[in-house]
């Protein structure tokens, strides 16, 4: 599938809407990292508002946009967690940037970062990227999200994590991660390097 295919497909969908001032959906399609060439990964979409004649048409337009965005979300998730390399792929970082809300992310951008995954009630276990994304996939099937957070680090902890080749700590299924436990984890990682 190529870029022109998707542009023609979207114009066809948009032409079905009776409007006073017709506009189209703008969807950018990018070349993915996989060897199959162009992918249907929708990187950015913008629905240019138009005056629809009825409330029903507005609802149909909203539903179509929702269905497109759900498909993109699921498609990106399928390409996440395929290995245990701590460095996130472009798809994984884009997914996590969208998956976590601003409170969970604490303003962090995952692009090109190496992530240490911590799990267990008090953060006693070190997880893997593949297991982390497997949990997300499993819970996503029911329309739910896992309990996951970016861990805030103070200056001393940031210095420790830099020595371990990781950029950030992400927890999942952790109820309480104490400052003492964070230091233990970071010191263990530092000693193992």
State yes or no: pLDDT of 94 exceeds 60: yes
- Percent pLDDT > 90 in the chain is 35
Q: Per-residue pLDDT tens for 1-40?
A: 555 665 565 555 555 555 444 444 444 343 333 334 333 3
Query: pLDDT averaged over the chain?
Result: 74
DSSP letter for 42, please. Answer: E
Burial of 140 (0-12, 13-18, 19+ CB in 10 A): middle
Distance CA 181, CA 179 (A): 5
Question: Global pTM?
Answer: 0.61
Distance CA 68, CA 114 (A): 30
Q: Per-residue pLDDT tens for 160-177?
A: 888 888 889 999 999 999
* Of 109 and 17, the one with more pLDDT: 109
Question: Which among 25-34, 98-107, 126-135, 184-193 has the top mean pLDDT?
Answer: 126-135
The DSSP line for 82-131 is: SS--SBPPHHHHHHHHHHS-HHHHTT---TT-BEEEEESTTS-EE--HHH
The crossing angle, in degrees rounded to 10, of helices 129-140 and 90-99 is 50
Q: Per-residue pLDDT tens for 41-71?
A: 333 333 334 444 566 666 777 776 655 554 4
State yes or no: pLDDT of 108 exceeds 60: yes
């Amino acid at each position: 599938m190529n870029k022109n295919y998707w542009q023609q497909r979207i114009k066809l969908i948009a032409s079905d809407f009776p409007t006073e001032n017709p506009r189209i959906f703008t969807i950018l399609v990018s070349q993915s990292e996989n060897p199959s060439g162009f992918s249907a990964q929708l990187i950015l979409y913008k629905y240019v508002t138009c005056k629809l004649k009825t409330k029903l048409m507005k609802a149909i337009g909203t539903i179509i946009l929702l269905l497109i965005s759900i498909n993109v979300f699921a498609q990106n998730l399928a390409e996440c967690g395929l290995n245990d390399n701590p460095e996130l792929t472009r798809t994984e970082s884009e997914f996590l940037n969208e998956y976590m809300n601003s409170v969970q992310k604490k303003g962090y951008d995952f692009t090109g970062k190496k992530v240490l995954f911590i799990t267990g009630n008090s953060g006693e276990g070190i997880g893997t990227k593949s297991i982390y994304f497997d949990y997300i996939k499993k819970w996503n099937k029911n329309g739910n999200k896992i309990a996951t957070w970016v861990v805030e680090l103070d200056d001393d902890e940031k210095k420790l994590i830099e020595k371990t080749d990781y950029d950030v700590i992400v927890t999942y299924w952790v109820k309480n991660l104490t400052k003492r436990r964070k230091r233990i984890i970071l010191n263990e990682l530092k000693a193992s390097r």
